[in-house]
Amino acid sequence: MTLTIRKLGPDDDRSAFRSGNPDLDRFFARYAAQNQFRHHIGTTYVAIDDAGAIVGFATVAAAEIEAEKMPATRRKRLPKYPLPALRLARLAVDERAKGQGVGSVLLRAVLVLARQLADDIGCVGVVVDAKPEAVAFYEKLGFLRLEVVAGELGDRPQPLPMFLELGQLGRAK
């Protein structure tokens, strides 16, 4: 499958996209465009297959990461105030296209954005609140689990904060 990654356009048909996660599908169908074009609070990038269908999307937004939540190895060398980062707010692949590398290609595009941000205004890396079932996917691509303050997460399965440092970019698969 040859993929094209580009920004969501106002006229893209988002109604047929099904990732298997109703919350993500609802976000894509109802909110992705208005967040991007009206509110300017996040930008969605879509993966288009050879037939012109949207087979995946990634939504990004500006973020900060608290210095004390950085991986221990990096913490010491960085200032203590919140650091600029790029948030991967949402990532989903259509059920028909899963397991064919679409998620990885979208993630790589997000990493390129983070690198551009680093050059233009400053960015230490990419943060994501990973759904429990996606933690292994992110780990494969080089993300680390962020420090979680004791008691911050309850007993229920919760999104796990994860981080990919820009310095690690070259090492991501």
Ligand X SMILES: CC(C)(COP(=O)(O)OP(=O)(O)OC[C@H]1O[C@@H](n2cnc3c(N)ncnc32)[C@H](O)[C@@H]1OP(=O)(O)O)[C@@H](O)C(=O)NCCC(=O)NCCS
Residue ranges in contact with ligand X by CB under 6 A? 19-21, 24, 91-93, 98-104, 128, 130-131, 133-134, 136-137, 140
135: which DSSP letter?
A: H
CB of 100 to ligand X, least distance (A): 5
Q: For this structure, is 138 an active site residue?
A: yes
What's the distance, Cα to Cα, between the start and end of the chain in Å?
A: 19
- Which of 133, 140, 125, 126 has the alpha carbon at shortest distance from 158? 133
Q: Which is nearer to ligand X, 74 or 108 (CB)?
A: 108
- Token pair, residue 65, equals 């990461």
Least spacing, CB of residue 127 vs ligand X, in Å: 11
Cβ nearer to ligand X, comparing 91 with 146: 91
Helix (H, G, I), strand (E, B) or coil at 2: coil
Distance in Å, CB of 53 to ligand X, minimum: 14
Please give the single-letter amino acid code of residue 47. A
- The residue of the chain with the least Cβ separation from ligand X equals 103
Q: Which is nearer to ligand X, 56 or 70 (CB)?
A: 56
Catalytic residues: 138
